[in-house]
Structure 1
């Protein structure tokens, strides 16, 4: 019956894409208005739209999102939130799913996508990974975001995990950022998004429930940049063990 699953998966992908496009066009002008606002008002306004949008869109594509562990977010505390990254579905789940105001880090190319790129420019810190000056500037920009009391949401694996392993090895950036800002790391894990958009399949999708879990925060108080490898390994181990236990 693989042929039937293949046909249904492609039909579902068309449905999901068309519904995403239609709902985006309805919100196009309100999102466009955000470009003219200063932060943090701009990001707060954009997130209120995104949360309402995804609260409607995700159930309509039969991918309801269930969150666990939001009580770990202390009122008034800013975090560097780290998440695993399995699928293109991750961003529309994590960005509205993180409690409070947050930004993520996005490639410059995402901001150049016609129409849709506008969302990345509003809700993200943009970086040209091929440009060293841009990489340095984005680090400074992320520090400014944190100084405004806005969480930074980062994917320390760097790219989507297309392997069979629970997590890919982490890069240093998120952990160095948290240590320099002396802010806690908030580990988080997405479940089942790889089942919705399986790696290696072009324009194929299947509906599935999504679970988004937050783990207890990890303090960086008193740490220096010399502690980055230790902190990175500690968070990697916590997230891997949790993922294996709860997948």
Structure 2
């Protein structure tokens, strides 16, 4: 991958977020700095994942491919979603445009696609197709297919993170217990896939020179996925706690005696 492709993607992320920030009405409360920092971190993760030094190794070194997968599909989506881009865009749009977007977010199609179960299938389920079929090998000879897989990883990761967190404008989300259950199930499926890839590499270790790097990549997938999923669970529970704290009534003032 040449330098201009990641530069174009990262530049678009930064320019789009910056433009939305500038278009927010002046009367609104200040946009939280933490959200802007989160977007910058997400853009940085995408930049590293698509950078020529890493992208140039993905077809020859399974560890490089797995690092790219973890960055694009798990870590970048987490911080990008925490940056609340949907809420920012709604605030930046004219009133008519904001109403249309809000209506689209509550549409039946978005309600189905953004359901945690659907999002998990599009995110983790597609990984089984990628790693257990000839699709991964095909990406090495078809640059357009490789680019499509990278885009799918990032978008599906963002969709899953958004569906699980349930923050900001969007369709009505399932209750916390359902979202936690889907997250646990998705984490289990991700760990199972990593274990399966490790076992397959071990079986072929005696005649495959790349088996050792395949096993290391599977370990990265297992443990790196665990860390990302724990961070997502922490973010989910922290958001739930904050919402509960806002709903709780303030304690009555003590009566002076």
Q: TM-score, normalised by structure 2?
A: 0.26
Structure with max Cα Rg: 2
Q: TM-score, normalised by structure 1?
A: 0.27
Q: Tell me which protein shows more strand as a share of its residues.
A: 1
Q: Which has the higher contact order (CA 8 A, sep 6+)?
A: 1
Q: Tell me which protein shows more helix as a share of its residues.
A: 2
